[in-house]
Amino acid sequence: MPPLTDDHAKLIAEVIALLREARSVLFITGAGLSADSGLPTYRGIGGLYNDHDADTGLPIEVLLSGRQFRSDPARTWKYLAEIGKAGRGKVPNRGHEVMAEMERHFPRVWVLTQNVDGFHRMAGSKNVIDIHGDLHNLRCTNCDHHAPAGDYTAMELPPKCVKCSAVLRPDVVLFGESLPMEAVATLRREERAGFDVVFSVGTTSVFPYIAGPVLDAHHRRKPSVEINPGDTDVTEFVTVKLPLRAAEALDAIWTAYQNG
């Protein structure tokens, strides 16, 4: 990891000044945070897929869609299993740990994550809105049975319910499906309460409900911080843009904050 530059240090100092005045913090996290644990993103360099799967020629939005799962669950499960296998042996990184530590330090900290790897809870965060679900949880498509996913490398595909023999599915949001109502309700409740500072970490913020809290902070004249090596849909609206990888930036911020 290259050393932080003077420009980075100045930006980190700005972030720390915002945190000194804060009592409530929202972290919005995406694939860029999990990438620092060695998880591949869905697309791009090091991604699981590009725009189309080589075997089928179908776009990933079709293969991992609710409609595809209903019509051919075995095919969708093939790609879900690849995602599960990619996370085998991976653990939360320093970025996840920092957010969990900050939850214990500030009066109110929440994490809104698009990631389905469950790393935030593994790292110790309790106030987590898994807006896209958790790949480690399975539920039956026919009855109320729920079960832990276990080892994706040893799973018979598609897995069947032990109660009714119907197909199981991960408790995640597939393309074309609605967001979980409970998670949405929690997000709306916490948004109404407001946050003193909003962090966007490792996400391109293409979904409205992911960009929304940053835009809301901008309109309310509340500070926000973006941690991302590249520019995104919310870059122009944030107070501080820190062009670093997620775990590196969060560790530097929290270390400096505690030593200050």
Segment 9-51, tens digit of pLDDT: 999 999 999 999 999 999 999 999 999 999 876 554 344 455 5
Hey, which CATH number is domain 60-86+137-172, 3.40.50.300, 3.40.50.720, 3.40.50.1970, 3.30.1600.10?
3.30.1600.10
132 flagged as catalytic: yes
| Domains of the chain by residue range | 6-39+93-132+177-259, 60-86+137-172
Confidence at residue 80, expressed as pLDDT on a 0 to 100 scale: 86
User: For residue 203, with 0-12 CB atoms within 10 Å meaning exposed, 13-18 middle and 19 or more buried, which class applies?
Assistant: buried
Calculate mean pLDDT across residues 204-219.
Answer: 96
**C-alpha span between 158 and 168 (Å, rounded):** 7
Confidence at residue 88, expressed as pLDDT on a 0 to 100 scale: 80
Q: What's this model's pTM, rounded to 2 decimal places?
A: 0.92
The residue ranking higher by pLDDT, 60 or 182, is: 182
Confidence at residue 46, expressed as pLDDT on a 0 to 100 scale: 43
Residue in 132, 136, 145, 146 annotated catalytic: 132
Confidence at residue 89, expressed as pLDDT on a 0 to 100 scale: 85
Segment 159-190, tens digit of pLDDT: 999 999 999 999 999 999 999 999 999 999 99
Question: Which stretches within the chain are classed as H helix?
Answer: 6-20, 31-35, 60-63, 66-71, 73-86, 94-105, 119-123, 181-193, 208-219, 246-259
CATH number of 6-39+93-132+177-259: 3.40.50.1220
